[in-house]
A and B are shown apart, each in its own frame.
Chain A
Amino acid sequence: MKKVLIIGGGVAGMEAAGQLAVLGYSVVLVERKDVLGGHVRKWDRLFPNKRPSEEVVNHLLQKVQHPNVEIRLKRTVTDLRRNPNGSFLAILSDQSPVSADVVLFATGYHLFDAYRKEEYGYGIYNNVITSADLERMFKNGEVKTAEGKIPQRVGIVHCVGSRDTKCGNLYCSRVCCVTGVKQAIELKELIPNVEVFNFYMDLRMFGRGFEQLYLEAQQKHRVRFVRGRLSEASETQDHGIFLKVDDTLVGRPMKMTVDMLVLMVGFEPRKTTFPLLESLGIEKNEDGFIKIRDCHFDENRTNVDGIYVAGTCTSAKSISETINDACSAALQIHRNLSAKVKDKRK
């Protein structure tokens, strides 16, 4: 039985593991945390249909419950080498060796560290939080300020750490717009009279059901959208957050105080994987995400033969897209490994 090593037990790794197991491959799934699931576990409900994130995690957990899948938790890959015959030998952090015919990187992303956007005051003012922090509050069923009050006015800032050369990130993180809209709706559902303002540069509602969410936010919940990027936030005496933004559609500057400011943090490449990538000569893009062979026809292979990629280690993706990408990676691996099908491209 041919063997596939999958690095990363998030959505992409789990989906690919499940698919490859069914296709008859022996899979070793390595995850650094003590549970599978990755970032999704941090989220409460998911766009576009407000599905509880556990449903996705449980669905994927069922898929990896397969005799062909061997799960290694709380381990990382510390060394990865190619054998003379073209296969790979990995050493895990517990010193155990894993040999594999091919390796799939499903190493995911890193959430932008909002401290780096200093002018927004994350880590300085207690009522500035990130989208991930807000999800934690949703999970606990209550949203309160640091002083324990129910916020009456909340600001949501789009593009934090994305589309910003000052942060070194030119790209759009793609899912934070719809997350901002989803969270605005959830705030409105949780706190009846709360005012919510979304500060955006462009609203990128590209996915299935996204535009409908935007309409719902306006129509049903009266969420207010302000086109303008927050320039700076400061704290008022009673721990409110004072905002300065250019209301670009009105053509005048705007200021307001909110009780809570939520930063839509974007995706960043996972830098801890860089040494491994470099040791094998796997190329990255300028933005640090792993480079794919072709942006139309070959999204799941890297420049190195036998090293495949799936999910958000190559670019920001939604969960639906990550699952599709993982399926396509599994199929690509199957095509290249199966003796019956010869891949002419190779």
Chain B
Amino acid sequence: MNQFGFSINKDKSIDMDKTSQKLTQYLTTEEPSFNICMSCGTCSATCSAGNFTDFSLRRINLLVLRGQLDEVRDEVNKCMLCGKCTLLCPRGVNTRGVIVAIKQYFDKL
């Protein structure tokens, strides 16, 4: 019950001193092309899933790097693995492979 109208906002900021780098390390061995993403957003612009939900592979890549693994786990299931993004990525990231590896990581946990 919120009797006094006081509440404390959760800190929105990402604290890089506390976040986990485990998934980043996993991807670096399993799908190293993950590291060369330049956040251009071509993948997310073409993605059908992204047109209907707030799913974005560009953002997922960053969330992995920032250790926001809970968010990544929820988001990654929205991908249909169609592979359209892989055709377009100008940096040559195996985007579909990145998603598959992320899913594998969570499955193994």
A227, B65: Cα distance in complex, Å: 13
Which residues of the other chain, A, contact B32 by a CB distance below 8 angstroms?
219
In the bound complex, do residue B15 and residue A255 qualify as a contact, i.e. CB atoms below 8 Å apart?
Answer: yes
A/B interface sample: 19 pairs, CB < 8 A: A214-B38, A218-B37, A218-B38, A219-B32, A219-B36, A222-B35, A247-B62, A249-B39, A249-B59, A249-B62, A250-B63, A252-B13, A253-B14, A254-B13, A254-B15, A254-B16, A255-B13, A256-B15, A256-B16
Q: B residues touching A (Cβ–Cβ < 8 Å)? A: 12-17, 28, 32, 35-39, 58-59, 62-63, 65-66
A257, B19: Cα distance in complex, Å: 12
Which residues of the other chain, B, contact A256 by a CB distance below 8 angstroms?
15-17
Judged by a CB distance under 8 angstroms, whether A215 is at the interface is: yes
A247, B12: Cα distance in complex, Å: 11
A286, B7: Cα distance in complex, Å: 51
Which residues of the other chain, A, contact B37 by a CB distance below 8 angstroms?
218
Judged by a CB distance under 8 angstroms, whether A224 is at the interface is: yes
Which residues of the other chain, B, contact A219 by a CB distance below 8 angstroms?
32, 35-36
Q: A247-B14, A253-B14, A254-B14 are in contact. Are A224 and B65 (CB under 8 A)?
A: yes
Question: How big is the A interface, by class?
Answer: 10 to 19
Which residues of the other chain, A, contact B59 by a CB distance below 8 angstroms?
249-250
Which residues of the other chain, A, contact B15 by a CB distance below 8 angstroms?
254-256
How many inter-chain contacts with C-beta < 8 Å in the A-B complex? 46
In the bound complex, do residue B13 and residue A215 qualify as a contact, i.e. CB atoms below 8 Å apart?
Answer: no
A224-260, CB < 8 A from B: 224-225, 227, 247, 249-250, 252-257
CB distance from A235 to the nearest CB of B (A): 15
CB distance from B58 to the nearest CB of A (A): 8
Which of A215, A225, A252, A257 contacts B12, CB < 8 Å? Answer: A252
A227, B59: Cα distance in complex, Å: 13
A284, B53: Cα distance in complex, Å: 54
Which residues of the other chain, B, contact A227 by a CB distance below 8 angstroms?
39
In the bound complex, do residue B36 and residue A250 qualify as a contact, i.e. CB atoms below 8 Å apart?
Answer: no
A215, B36: Cα distance in complex, Å: 7
Which residues of the other chain, A, contact B62 by a CB distance below 8 angstroms?
247, 249-250
Which of A218, A247, A253 contacts B36, CB < 8 Å? Answer: A218
Which residues of the other chain, B, contact A215 by a CB distance below 8 angstroms?
36
A28, B15: Cα distance in complex, Å: 58
CB distance from B36 to the nearest CB of A (A): 5
Which residues of the other chain, A, contact B13 by a CB distance below 8 angstroms?
252-255
In the bound complex, do residue B66 and residue A247 qualify as a contact, i.e. CB atoms below 8 Å apart?
Answer: yes
In the bound complex, do residue A252 and residue B65 qualify as a contact, i.e. CB atoms below 8 Å apart?
Answer: no
Which residues of the other chain, A, contact B63 by a CB distance below 8 angstroms?
250
A221, B37: Cα distance in complex, Å: 13
Which residues of the other chain, B, contact A224 by a CB distance below 8 angstroms?
65
Known: A247-B14, A254-B16; 11 extra A-B contacts, CB below 8 A, are A215-B36, A219-B35, A219-B36, A222-B35, A249-B59, A250-B59, A252-B14, A253-B13, A254-B14, A255-B15, A256-B17
A254, B16: Cα distance in complex, Å: 7
